Structure 1
């Protein structure tokens, strides 16, 4: 029984000829992301800023954000953000930090309940104090750093140092551009966003390892070909798997983004962006990095962009 193949077995697309475009493009985007991060910043959620988030639903009729904002502002707890959430009868309120104590946050919740409980049902109340928000920032940052270091150590033992460095460069590329995605879209960056970033690290790593494993196999098999030609052969041989995996993952995440609601919106949209970037980086960043780092062909030091007389050229 023949397996269904979306990409013909004899595909010979020359991916490596585009490395002179992908590298400068990714470098420019990464620099712009860093500038954007410091110039615009990110829309940090309550998990990182601290404060109180309250979700309410009108008991009868439609919620009135204007009236809610006026009433909440008169409670004396500073500025309050009020926005519709989900349906027209649902509303979301965000209050800033109330002093340095947890009791001050709880006093705010009690006052809001007293003002709105008659007309609104309280569906969700999240209170994050300054100490907790600081710990969450540290834990989230530490989690990302440990994940990247784990990638480096794993690939160093699994392959060679060139593969480890290439995988870390590709992973950091995806992380930086994902941060840029949050800065541009101003999606709320909260703990689910950290989960999305760690998931993107795993997805990008998995895709990169699949390509690297085939490249290593081809390096041993074709000892008389140039390194760019060997990488092209390896990527073309895994292209069907890469496209099917990325497509099915994208469709599942698209369903989450459309039907999952605002609670997981930042997670699903970040994951969609991360899947696209992870697929791109495994082909156009992680693979060509091996050329510049001098990966060995056949384990005999025949590396670089030197073209052997017998090396077939990959068709664009």
Structure 2
């Protein structure tokens, strides 16, 4: 016995709504860029510089009392948020205090951190400080540049690989799908004001890897079918290829989503932003593999000459992955 999410043979017309889906993708990307420009991103300490102090207490968090205790220290921009998590017990009350980088200093000094902890413990003697993270302004600027280089380099490497493995039209389609996934991920983080830090960059790189894997699987089947069905219209070959890989796509995405949902529910607030980014990326990555990458290839067309030998239809068909 084996699990079947879809029948062994399906004949769904995925490309029937290609104009609507591609238009919706373009609108979603434009909306994401506008939201990003207007609302900005909720950058973490990694990118802003400063210090994050995590507190835990058996008593309820009193944000007003915490802020009143820190005001005399003149620390500048201080953000205090209570952390909610369904896994916390009734006596687990967690808060996160973010202190901006001090002018003229690489980071908040140990003396200042000690003063903050002492002031907070006057409000609640049961407070503990399980983690303190500090990043200087210079380091945070370098991290932003390194993150951009990492994302750009990964896209460039994938562009070259897909061009080498298939044809340039496939390469453009794959990169269009990846840009779609990254822009929509940044847009949803901006809209929901979820903390954007180095863990999110790691999640975006993971999304890129997952999305291109799904795209390459369908492209590989498309290439095989282009060789087999040389006189069949390209759009029909695309539909056949998506249908033939549908079971694999749903099984891979479904099992990944199950694991990610469990992590969101039970993994705690520390990794929730990272897991949410990957979960969102799996969904949009699966969608873009069909309705962005394939749409671009269909619009650009693929050179198909029935008189050519059976290895036609790709520039480097004999290169093993």
**1:116 is matched with which residue: 120, 124, 134?**
120
Runs (4+) of structure 1 exceeding 4 A deviation are 298-301
**8 Å CA contact retained: 1:83, 1:91:** yes
Q: Classify the secondary structure of the residue corresponding to 2:128.
A: strand
**Farther off after superposition, 111-120 or 134-143:** 111-120
**8 Å CA contact retained: 1:144, 1:198:** yes
Deviations 1:128-187 (A, max 9, x none): 110111011011111100010011011111111111111001110111111111111110
What is residue 312 of structure 1 aligned with on the other side? none
What is residue 262 of structure 1 aligned with on the other side? 269
What is residue 56 of structure 2 aligned with on the other side? 57
5+ residue gaps in structure 1? 302-316
What is residue 35 of structure 1 aligned with on the other side? 34
**8 Å CA contact retained: 2:50, 2:107:** no
What is residue 208 of structure 2 aligned with on the other side? 201
5+ residue gaps in structure 2? 309-321
**8 Å CA contact retained: 1:45, 1:188:** yes
Measure how far apart 1:117 and its partner are: 4.9
Cα distance in 2, alignment partners of residues 106 and 37 from structure 1: 35
Q: Classify the secondary structure of the residue corresponding to 1:52.
A: strand
Q: Does 1:174 align with 2:173?
A: no
Cα distance in 2, alignment partners of residues 200 and 225 from structure 1: 33
Deviations 1:205-244 (A, max 9, x none): 0000000000000000011200000000000000001011
Give the alignment of 1:127-166 within 5 angstroms. 127-166=134-173
Cα distance in 1, alignment partners of residues 186 and 279 from structure 2: 13
CA RMSD in angstroms, aligned pairs only: 1.7
**1:69 is matched with which residue: 50, 67, 70?**
67
CA distance 1:267–1:48, shift in 2 (3 Å): same
Q: Classify the secondary structure of the residue corresponding to 1:224.
A: coil
Q: Classify the secondary structure of the residue corresponding to 1:208.
A: helix
What is residue 282 of structure 2 aligned with on the other side? 275
Cα distance in 1, alignment partners of residues 108 and 59 from structure 2: 32
**8 Å CA contact retained: 1:207, 1:242:** yes
What is the count of residue pairs matched by the alignment?
299
| TM-score, length of structure 2 as denominator length | 0.88
